[in-house]
Chain A
Amino acid sequence: MKWFPLALFLAFSVLNATAQSLGFVPVLEDEGLQLNKDRLLADGRSLTIETFKFFIGHATLFSRGQIVFHDSAYHLIDATDPESLNILLKATQKLKFDSVSFTLGVDSITSVFGAFGGDLDPTNGMYWTWNSGYINFKLEGTSPVCNTTKNAFNFHLGGYLAPYRSAQVVGLRVPSQNEVTIGIDLSKFFLEVDLAKDHTIMSPSARAVELSSILARSFHIVK
């Protein structure tokens, strides 16, 4: 029975842990994003978003510039899976913090490490098979303005090698509280993109890096 005190201690630690949640809310022009639903944008373009998935990783909480919490894990956020929109950061104590940062996409070290399971499992449709590397951000849908097969647009943004590294670091100031809700507003993305000409990215490129950086600036604190 010499394990007993240790087991009790472990059990107690688990029960005593505090979860800090980071919630993500996809937004398009001040409305919650709905998949597979036709939307008319303010500029008159209509579009339907069918797939909206991205990786976030290295969630870090800061207090006055000092790191108070870091989670090296990656999380796949998928608009079709409501549970994935809420990330729980398991801290051992209640944290006070004033800002949060995370990477949008998978960093270079992780990209060359080999196979991972869970959210990074290559069966999740977020890994290129012909050219190693994660798809950091996937946005697919249709718009009548796209002169493509079935009017489809496909943005598969990724790339981990210079000069086309597309993973981005996002930093946001937050009011110190338990629930942090982060919006990602796709309006900026669609303002930048002329879907008639700019509708398909499926490999690492300079444009993929540009669009990733626009997306990184589309995150904001909702509450």
Chain B
Amino acid sequence: MRSNASIVVACVALLVLCAAIVPSSEPVKLKYPVSWPTPTYNFAANPLTAEGIALGRKLFYDPILSADSIVSCSSCHLSFTAFTHVDHAVSHGVGDSIGTRNSLALMNLAWSKRFMWDGAVNHLDMQALAPINHPDELGETTAHVVAKLQRTSTYPLLFEKVFGDATITGERFLKALSQFELTLVSANSKYDRVMLKAEAFTEQEANGYALFKTNCNACHQEPLFTTGEFANNGLPIDSVFNDFGRMLITKDPEDSLKFKIPTLRNIEFSFPYMHDGRFKSLRNVLDHYGEGIQHGPTLAPELQKGLALTKNQRTDIVAFLLTLSDREFCFDPNFAYPRE
């Protein structure tokens, strides 16, 4: 009897070992230009797999994430417009409730250090918690979303393929969403092809690029077109939203009126502009940097004198900014609604 018992124990131990060794899905390596910096996302803690990315994509487009089963992540982050809510100053969620900020375009998230306009979220995995639990966005609780997913006939099997068993947890749900979001790499604009010497700027675009490098590049740094930091870009405070930006998170007066410096990639598609969507066109934005700067103790040092740009120079900069559009990214079938 004794030896039988030890054989049983040994077999169990062996099974445990095998389960740990056998890979459950197909590994994927994130593709990005060799000249780019190393991503900040820790892929070792959430290794990309084909199955994980597909699951994240399904979740991204599934309104089961919302209280009314109508709103999904993609409602405010549309693939065709670089994953933002185009033509809405601020975004809206369940029951037509209106938020207070303009949804950010989603791309190159593996390089982002802090998320949301005020940097409230410290990690891509944790970002989805904010809109899911916000009463004016998806209006749900994460625990309830996870319970709903577990009750479906499809999701437990998909989670099993990615994570080895059919139990859906908050961690697995968030990591799957991250996997899809991490693949949203935009690096194939005309600008990128010019940098690779595969294409050339027009004279106007080249002028715009030169002006960009002297006037804008300090904050909208290449190749990601953002430093990932926060700055007060001289917008007068909106009297309706009364939004002090990053200070609401850090409670530090030095962060008053500072907002995330957004990437300028695909800026053509992500109108209107600024955290509250107050500017309808890129021209409005450049006019703000020319004559609209409001001075204050936290104003970005680069903007103390405004940007002295002639009308023609502004037109040239806009022409350059349009070279940051990546149509292949916006119409990539791997990023669109997953038809089964």
Q: Please report A residues at the B interface, Cβ cutoff 8 Å.
A: 3-4, 7-8, 10-11, 14-15, 111-117, 121-125, 127, 129-133, 161, 164, 204-205
Residue of B nearest to A11 (CB): B9
A205 → chain B closest CB, angstroms: 7
Q: How far is the CA of A134 from the CA of B83 in the complex (A)?
A: 29
* A115 and B174 contact, Cβ closer than 8 Å, known pairs A8-B6, A10-B13, A122-B129: yes
Q: Is the CB of B14 within 8 A of A115?
A: no
Check B146 for interface membership: any CB of A closer than 8 A: yes
B250 to chain A minimum Cβ distance, whole angstroms, is 7
**A164 / chain B contacts, CB cutoff of 8 Å:** 251
Residues of A within 8 A of B134 (CB): 129-130
Proximity string of chain B (123-142) to chain A, C-beta cutoff 8 Å, 1 when within and 0 when not:
11110011011100000001
For the complex, what is the distance from the CA of A14 to the CA of B17, rounded to whole Å? 14
Give the interface segment out of B164-172, B263-271, B291-299: B164-172
Whether A115 lies near B170 (C-beta < 8 A) is yes
CA distance A204 to B14 in the complex (A): 47
A7–B17 touching, CB < 8 Å: yes
Q: State the majority secondary structure of interface residues on B.
A: helix
Instruction: Assess the B14–A7 pair: CB atoms within 8 A.
Output: yes
Q: Are A122 and B126 in contact (CB under 8 A)?
A: yes
Shortest A105–chain B CB gap in Å is 16
CB distance B122 to A7 under 8 Å? no
Task: Note all chain A residues with C-beta closer than 8 A to B146.
Answer: 123
Q: Report if B206 contacts A (CB, 8 A).
A: no
Complex Cα–Cα for A11 and B16 (A): 11
Out of A7, A114, A125, name the residue touching B125 (CB < 8 Å): A114
Q: How far is the CA of A115 from the CA of B122 in the complex (A)?
A: 11
CB pair A123–B170 under 8 Å, yes or no, is yes
B46 proximal to A (CB < 8 A): yes
| Interface residue B202 (Cβ < 8 Å from any Cβ of A) | no
Count, chain B residues at interface, CB 8 A: 36
Would you call the interface of chain A mostly helix, strand, loop, or mixed? loop
Of A14, A116, A161, which is within 8 A of B250 by CB?
Answer: A161
Q: Are B142 and A129 in contact (CB under 8 A)?
A: yes
Question: Which residues from B are CB-within-8-Å of A132?
Answer: 120-123, 126
Residues of B within 8 A of A121 (CB): 169-171
A122 to B172, CA, bound (A): 11
Of B13, B46, B133, B143, which is within 8 A of A7 by CB?
B13
Q: How far is the CB of B22 from chain A (nearest CB, A)?
A: 14
Closest to B121 in A: A132
Chain B 1-32: CB-based contact to A (< 8 A → 1; otherwise 0): 00000100111111001000000000000000
The residue that B120 contacts in the complex, of A4, A113, A123, A131, with Cβ under 8 A, is: A131
Residue from the list B11, B129, B169 in contact with A127, Cβ < 8 A = B129
* Contact assessment for A129 and B171 in the assembled complex, using a CB-CB cutoff below 8 Å: no
Chain B residues within 8 Å of A8, by CB: 6, 9-10, 13
Tell whether B260 is near chain A: CB-to-CB under 8 Å. Answer: no
Q: In whole angstroms, what is the CA distance A96 to B46 when docked?
A: 38
Within 8 Å CB of B122, what residues of A?
111-112, 132-133
Any A CB within 8 A of the CB of B200:
no
Please measure, in the bound complex, the distance between the C-alpha atom of A130 and the C-alpha atom of B120, giving whole angstroms: 7
Output the nearest chain A residue to B250 by Cβ-Cβ distance: A161
B20 → A minimal CB distance (Å): 12
A123 neighbours in B (Cβ, 8 Å): 142-143, 146, 169-170
Cα of A122 to Cα of B146 in the assembled complex, Å? 11
In the complex, are the beta carbons of A122 and B13 less than 8 A apart?
Answer: no
Is B175 on the interface with A (CB-CB < 8 A)? yes
Within 8 A of A (CB), among B17-72: 17, 42, 45-46
By a CB distance below 8 angstroms, the chain B residues around A10 are 13, 17
Interfacial chain A residues near B178, Cβ < 8 Å: 114-115
Closest to B11 in A: A7
What is the minimal beta-carbon distance from B2 to any residue of chain A, in angstroms? 13
Chain B residue with Cβ nearest A13: B13
Chain A residues contacting B251 (CB-CB under 8 Å) are 164, 204-205
B45, B174, B175 — which one has the most chain A CB atoms within 10 A of its CB?
Answer: B174
Q: Determine the chain A residues whose CB is within 8 A of the CB of B14 once the complex forms.
A: 3, 7
